[in-house]
Amino acid sequence: MSPKDAERYEQHFRANLGLAVKLLLVWFLVSIGAGAVTEWLDQFRILTGFPLGYYMGAQGAQITFVILIFIYAFRMRAIDQKYGVDE
């Protein structure tokens, strides 16, 4: 492997790691953080009238996790193309 390729792969790895850390932080805040502050979130209501704390436990967290999967897939495709390691 040439030094130029090694540098490109290192940059790709750092971009991938940065994205993963950011998305895992969101995952942590939604799964653990929302559960920890459920009582405080219950003072807010969503459009259907349910307390926000209940909604985050029932549906909001799962919807957020699916959105995170799509964000990861689209961003990784862009990162792969940027560094020339796409399929």
Residue-wise pLDDT for 30-47, tens only, equals 888 888 888 898 999 988
> Residue 7 falls within a domain, yes or no?
no
More confident residue, 12 or 46: 12
Host domain of residue 55:
20-83
48/55 Cα distance (integer angstroms):
10
> Residue 50 falls within a domain, yes or no?
yes
Residue 86 DSSP one-character state: -
Summarize pLDDT for 20-34 with one digit per residue, the tens: 999 999 999 988 888
What per-residue confidence (pLDDT) applies to 13? Answer: 95
36/29 Cα distance (integer angstroms):
9
Number of domains in the chain: 1
Q: Which amino acid is at 13?
A: F
Contact by Cβ (8 Å): 26, 75: no
What per-residue confidence (pLDDT) applies to 12? Answer: 94
> Residue 4 falls within a domain, yes or no?
no
Number of residues that this document lists for the chain: 87
Q: Has residue 59 got a pLDDT over 90?
A: no
